[in-house]
Amino acid sequence: MVEFWAFALALSILLYVLLDGFDLGVGMLFPFARGEEERRRMLASISPVWDGNETWLIISAATLFSAFPPVFAIVLSAFYIPLFVMLAGLILRGVAFEFRYKATLSRPLWDAGFVAGSYAAAFVQGAAVGAIVEGLPIENGVFVGNGMSWVSPFAIFCGIGLCIGYALLGACWIARKSGGSLRTFGFAALPKLMAALLAFLVVVFAWSLAIRLPVLARWTERPLLLVCPLIGLAAFAVLAQAVRSRDDRFLFLGGAAIFLAAFATLAGSFLPYMLPFSLTIWEAASPTTSLAFLFWGAGIFVLPLTLAYTLIVYFVFRGKVVGERSY
């Protein structure tokens, strides 16, 4: 039961990162597009799916609260201010989608909200991962730090890194889903973003060595983990080749593979801990009565249904965005 819910949680977080990652990325690239027409087409490429993507954030939060309440309590209180900033950012983004078309004079305002919301959400998520990797002050399963405990140069650097990563996914998505000048825009942005992301990953690795992150010990214990960065490098190579030959078929999959490799690396170095090195998934899990109660409805019925729903939406909206409103 505990394994099932740990897996379900990991899956929904991964899906959230991959899916909302690219539409947050599009939001970050939004100000760099030329003219209203390109911007509209950028929005059109994500508007059928972006809010479905954010559903996975809600599912992750609900699963975390139900199945691993201590972690929910620790993480949400440790990132108090940044979390509210992220929520505000996500709400502003959602509102901007609809209001910018209703507004005439205030459109720059909604656009600013859209862009700022995208950056804020991405930064907070990256910084949170960084701070969790460094280790939060936890005693007896309770957070004992303060509102600024998460702030460190390393966490802030990770926040910037995730912004780059999401922007990369966003560029992949734009190049894949659109044609003409917007496709060129996506392809033009990709080499820079790839270089930046690669540099970020190298620096983060060196930095972790320099500050002797306890997580790194796992790499000597579990040499198999080295496969993950290798997959990541391979994905980089595939992506570079695709960009060079202007081939957009595997573009997004390449970007996703980089994220998958990074996610697997983190998960592999954490397990069996959920928060290194203070709470294992067994210590954090709700009692079996709770997990079973959740399993027989949400686990075997709702989760697969939502997965299927996500697949259907992406199937319906497959292919390139031709005009502003047709797919």
Partner 1 sequence: MDLTPLLLSRIQFAFTISFHIIFPAFTIGLAAWLTFLEACGLITGERIYRRLSDFWLKIFAVTFGLGVVSGIVMAFQFGTNWSELARRTGPIQGPLLGYESFTGFALEATFFGVLMFGRDRVPRWAYFLACLMVSIGTSLSAYWIMVNNSWMQYPTGYSLAANGVFIPDDWSAILFSEAVRTRFPHMVLAAYVTSAFCVAATGAWYMLRGTAVQEGRAMAVMGLRLAAILVPLQLLFGHLVGDYVHDRQPAKFAAIEGRWNDEQPASEILIAWPDPKNERNLFEIAVPYLGSIIGSMSLTAKETGLKSFAAADRPPVAIPFFAFRIMVGCGLLMLAIAWVGTWLSFGERLVKARLFLVATSLSFPLGFVATLTGWYTAEVGRQPWAVYGELRTADALTPVLTTGEVAATLTLIACIYALIFGFGALYIYRLLRAGPIPRTDISLFGTNPKRPLSLPGASPGVTGGAGIGD
Question: Within positions 48 to 87, which residues make up the interface with partner 1, using CB under 8 A?
Answer: 48, 50-52, 54-55, 58-59, 61-63, 65-67, 69-70, 72-77, 80-81, 83-85, 87
Report, in Å, the least distance between residue 21 CB and partner 1: 15
Number of residues that bind partner 1 (CB under 8 A): 73
> Can residue 309 be called a binding residue for partner 1 (CB under 8 A)?
yes
- Amino acid 25 reads G
Segment 242 to 301, residues that bind partner 1, using CB under 8 A: 286-287, 289-290, 293-294, 297-298, 301
Give the whole-angstrom CA distance, residue 5 versus residue 220.
28
Name the one range near partner 1 by CB under 8 A: 163-171, 183-191, 260-268, 312-320: 312-320
Burial of 63 (0-12, 13-18, 19+ CB in 10 A): buried
Name the one range near partner 1 by CB under 8 A: 89-97, 182-190, 203-211, 260-268: 89-97
SS3 of 292, please?
helix
User: Which one among 97, 250, 263, 273 touches partner 1, defined by CB under 8 A?
Assistant: 97
Segment 104 to 133, residues that bind partner 1, using CB under 8 A: none
- Packed helices 251-270 and 180-210: angle between N→C axes, nearest 10 degrees: 20
Site map (CB under 8 A) of partner 1, residues 30-49, x = contact: ----------x--xx--xx-
User: Which one among 31, 135, 141, 214 touches partner 1, defined by CB under 8 A?
Assistant: 141
> Would you give the DSSP letter of residue 145?
S
Give the whole-angstrom CA distance, residue 96 versus residue 103.
10
The alpha carbon of residue 280 and the mean position of all alpha carbons in its chain are separated, in whole angstroms, by 23
> Can residue 135 be called a binding residue for partner 1 (CB under 8 A)?
no
Give CA separation, 25 vs 6, 48, 277, in Å. Answer: 27, 16, 31
Token pair belonging to 280: 């294992």
The alpha carbon of residue 236 and the mean position of all alpha carbons in its chain are separated, in whole angstroms, by 18
Q: Which residue has the tokens 């496709």?
A: 183
Report, in Å, the least distance between residue 230 CB and partner 1: 36
